[in-house]
Amino acid sequence: MELRSVEELMDLLHAGRPQHALRTAALLRRGRPADKELQVAGLVQGIGPLLAPGDEADSGRRAAAAVRPLLGERVCRLVRGDAGVADDDVLRLRLAREEGRTAGFDAGVLEDWRTVLELVAARHCRLDAVD
C-alpha cells in the first residue's frame, strides 16, 4: 500500500497507537526542532502493523514503502533504519521511539501534526517535480 495523501496518512495514524507516535515525534522536535523530516519519521514509523494486521515481519520496510510516495526518500530511509542516512539520525530516532514508550508527558493530539505532515509532503512534491 502506498499512501498518497496526508488525509489518508492521518486516518491510518488515528487507527494505530497515536500516543506513542506523538511522544516519539515530540521528543524528536525537542532535540532537533528544525528537522521536520526526522520528526515525521518518528510519527509514522509505527504504521507497518496497521498496513498488514497480524504480520509483524518487515513492518519497518512496509511502513517505509508506504510513506515514500508522500513524504520522500529521506523519511522512507529513516523509517526503514537505513545506514544510507546519517547514522546519528537513525540512532536518535530509535532512542526517541524507545523513550516514547515510557515517557509520561502530554504530547498533544495528532491534529497538531497535520501542518508538519503537509509541509514535508509539499516539499517532497516540489523536489519530485524538479527531478
The residue ranges of every structural domain in the chain are: 6-130
Quick one: what percent of the chain has pLDDT higher than 70?
Answer: 96
Q: What is the pTM of this model?
A: 0.91
d(CA 64, CA 30): 23
Output the pLDDT for position 131: 55
Phi-psi label, residue 58: left if phi above 0, alpha if psi -120 to 50, beta otherwise: left
Which letter does DSSP use for residue 85 in this model?
Answer: S
Tell me the residue type at 124: H
Q: Are 64 and 72 in contact (CB under 8 A)?
A: no
Low-confidence ranges of the chain (pLDDT < 70): 127-131
